[in-house]
Amino acid sequence: MGRIAAARHEEHAQARRAAILDAALRVFAELGFSAARMEQVAAAAGVSKAALYLYFPSKDALLQAVLDRYALLPEMPAMVAALEQTPPALGIPKLISQAWPLLRQRRGLAQVIVHEIQSHPGRARLFAERVGLPAYQALAAYLERWMERGQLRRQHALAAAQCLFGMLWFFLLTQELTGGKELYPLSDQTVVSTVSRMFLEGATQPLQAAARPATAGSKRAGLNNRHS
């Protein structure tokens, strides 16, 4: 009976902690982290302020827990692993089509991140470590493999991964957070196809051009240049 009671107590504690984090994300997104007060989070979660401090001793600890729970793309390593043997021409569009809806669902967290980086640049490192780097590293490893196989132009893999996420992040900001959806709505398919095409053509165009057989006209031009 003691073990059952302990298990139920732990289950209750985990449920309460999850409710607090859900409430904190809503309050932080609405008011901004700096303006939000712990009592507001407690009220939104339906717990007392004292109970809130039992789970999270400070507002900074609460923010870090929010970032741990609501990473923008915690699924990225698994999604990339599933595409390990899929060439980029197919794998990148599939990855983007999976990532974009998840980013849209997490626009509340994106709003918190934008507000806090603008208000407190010192927190940028926290967001970079907790939110960006894990996703960048997973994608960079995939890109590196296909660069080694000659399917992608050789370049800095981590920088290329950040470039891809940068395009998605910009669409998230403009469409979901700054009113762009009302001014110039873009369908999910448009976002996915545009980012896929821009990334892949930028990454593979030189390879394709180099591999393309020379036409008769280009061969004659080359001969003329050599004899001139």
Structure confidence at residue 7 (pLDDT): 66
**How many C-beta atoms surround the C-beta of residue 90 within 10 A?**
10
The model's confidence at residue 213, banded by pLDDT at 50, 70 and 90, is low
* Residue 210 confidence class, pLDDT cut points 50, 70, 90: very low
CATH topology of domain 2-63: Arc Repressor Mutant, subunit A (1.10.10)
The pTM of this model reads 0.69
Per-residue pLDDT tens over the stretch 97-109: 999 999 998 888 8
**pLDDT at residue 75 in the model:** 85
Q: Phi and psi dihedrals of 35, rounded to 5?
A: -80, -25
| CA–CA separation, 223 and 211 (whole Å) | 19
Q: Tell me: the pLDDT tens digits for 34-62?
A: 788 999 999 999 999 999 999 999 998 99
* Length of the chain (residues): 228
- The closest of 131, 151, 110 to 28, measured between CA atoms, is 110
pLDDT given for residue 26 in this prediction: 85
> Hey, what CATH topology would domain 76-211 get?
Tetracycline Repressor; domain 2 (1.10.357)
What per-residue confidence (pLDDT) applies to 2?
64
**More confident of the two residues 177 and 50:** 50
Domain ranges of the chain: 2-63, 76-211
Residues 6+ apart with CB under 8 A from 42: 20, 48, 49, 51, 52
Whole-angstrom Cα distance, residue 80 to residue 100? 14
